[in-house]
């Protein structure tokens, strides 16, 4: 059987989105978890955006002329973000996933990305093993959390919509916490109108691209992050990705009615700095 890996085009989004939906539905239902993607239309739309966006490098796997999987690399910021990787359930566990991963790790190296990050479904033995074999280290257990909007504010912390002029301050903050910034992702979120910042004592002390599975947040302290979480009108997708070892934040979310929907793991390859502040991970962006 011939397997080729090639660059994805927007026309590939329909078959790849269908595979993406089926692959996640299969693995999630086998473990009694809700699917990450609610419908094939969602995954087709997501992959169409990623396959068309100049900041992403995406590939498809084609076996004997048929598309059997895809994978994406988010190149908008210095640390590349990998995923979603999905392989047609009919051909899983026969090296297609490894080939899709290796193609993007080669790409990341060719672009001199200092590091690559991904978020792994902690209950999935196969993806965990594959990523570890390819050199990814498990860095942080994450709890995906969902629930009704908290609708709370914290005295002394004011939350507002982020503006383009906030980008530099947010990037400096992200750099101070993570050792690199994610300005590419944040710029898109500001343009889309989903990003928020929190201000304390007249300066920006935290931001969120969106309070959702697909958004990240960075803050100087837990109360800064709590102010951002407290102001969200809802939590998009399966929920926000809270670092479980940040016990204070994790318990605060639990006390405010959020529930854990699934365990996940932040994995990285290459440059990684132990965060010097509070943050929420994102599944992709």
The residues in 48-107 that bind ligand COA, with binding defined as CB under 6 A, are 85-87, 92-98
Spatial contact of 235 and 145, defined as CB atoms under 8 Å apart = yes
Select the residue interacting with ligand COA from 9, 29, 111, 129 (CB under 6 A): 129
- Helices 96-110 and 125-133, packing angle to 10 deg: 40
Please identify, using beta-carbon distances, which residue of 142 and 173 lies nearer to ligand COA: 142
Q: Is 45 left (phi over 0), alpha (psi -120 to 50) or beta?
A: alpha
Between vectors from CA 243 to CA 43 and to CA 40, what angle results, nearest 5°?
10
Q: How far is the CB of 283 from ligand COA (least distance, A)?
A: 9
> Binding residue for ligand COA (CB under 6 A) from 44, 116, 130, 150?
130
- Rounded distance between C-alpha atoms, residue 170 and residue 183, angstroms: 8
What is the C-alpha to C-alpha distance for residues 237 and 143, in angstroms, rounded to an integer? Answer: 14
Instruction: Give the interface segment with ligand COA, choosing from 2-10, 123-131, 197-205, 215-223 (CB under 6 A).
Output: 123-131
Beta carbons within 8 Å of 204's beta carbon, 6+ residues apart:
166, 169, 170, 173, 197, 198
Q: Which of 98, 245 has the CB closer to ligand COA?
A: 98
Closest separation between CB of residue 134 and ligand COA, Å? 9
Cβ distance to ligand COA smaller for residue 123 or 260:
123
Count of residues that bind ligand COA according to CB under 6 A: 22
Nearest distance, CB of residue 59 and ligand COA, angstroms: 13
Q: Could you give the CA distance from residue 127 to residue 32 in angstroms, rounded to a whole number?
A: 17
Beta bridge partners of 203: 200
Using the rule CB under 6 A, is 126 a contact of ligand COA? yes
Tell me how many helices (H) and strands (E) the chain has: 8, 14
Residue with the shortest CB distance to ligand COA:
97
Nearer to ligand COA, 88 or 199 (CB): 88
Distance CA 237, CA 35 (A): 10
Strands 196-200 and 259-270: unpaired
Q: Is 186 in the site for ligand COA (CB under 6 A)?
A: no
Restricting to residues 13-52, name those near ligand COA by CB under 6 A: 23-24, 27
- Closest distance between ligand COA and the C-beta of residue 149, in Å? 28
Nearer to ligand COA, 86 or 281 (CB): 86
Interaction residues for ligand COA, span 137-156 (CB under 6 A)? none
Structure tokens that stand for 42 in this block: 């969602």
* Residues in contact with ligand COA by the rule CB under 6 A: 23-24, 27, 85-87, 92-98, 120-121, 124-127, 129-130, 133
């Amino acid at each position: 059987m011939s397997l080729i890996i090639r660059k994805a085009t927007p026309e590939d989004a329909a078959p790849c989105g269908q595979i993406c939906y089926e692959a996640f539905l299969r693995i999630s239902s086998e473990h009694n978890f809700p699917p990450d993607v609610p419908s094939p239309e969602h995954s087709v739309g997501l992959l169409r955006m990623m396959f068309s966006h100049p900041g992403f490098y995406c590939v498809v796997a084609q076996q004997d002329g048929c598309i059997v999987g895809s994978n994406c690399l988010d190149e908008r910021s210095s640390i590349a973000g990998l995923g979603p990787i999905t392989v047609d359930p009919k051909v899983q566990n026969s090296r297609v996933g490894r080939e899709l991963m290796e193609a993007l790790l080669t790409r990341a190296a060719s672009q001199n990305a200092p590091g690559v990050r991904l978020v792994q479904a902690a209950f999935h033995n196969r993806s965990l093993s594959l990523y570890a074999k390819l050199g990814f280290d498990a860095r942080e257990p994450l709890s995906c959390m969902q629930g009704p909007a908290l609708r709370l504010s914290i005295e002394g912390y004011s939350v507002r919509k982020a503006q383009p002029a906030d980008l530099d301050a947010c990037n400096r903050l992200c750099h101070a916490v993570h050792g690199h910034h994610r300005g590419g992702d944040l710029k898109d979120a500001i343009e889309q109108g989903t990003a928020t910042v929190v201000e304390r004592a007249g300066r920006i002390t935290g931001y969120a691209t969106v309070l959702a599975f697909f958004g990240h947040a960075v803050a100087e302290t837990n109360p800064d992050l709590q102010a951002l979480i407290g102001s969200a009108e809802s939590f998009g997708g399966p929920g926000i990705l809270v670092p479980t070892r940040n016990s204070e934040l994790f318990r605060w979310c639990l006390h405010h009615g959020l529930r854990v929907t699934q365990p996940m793991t932040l994995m990285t390859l290459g440059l990684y700095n132990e965060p010097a502040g509070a943050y929420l991970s994102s599944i992709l962006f």
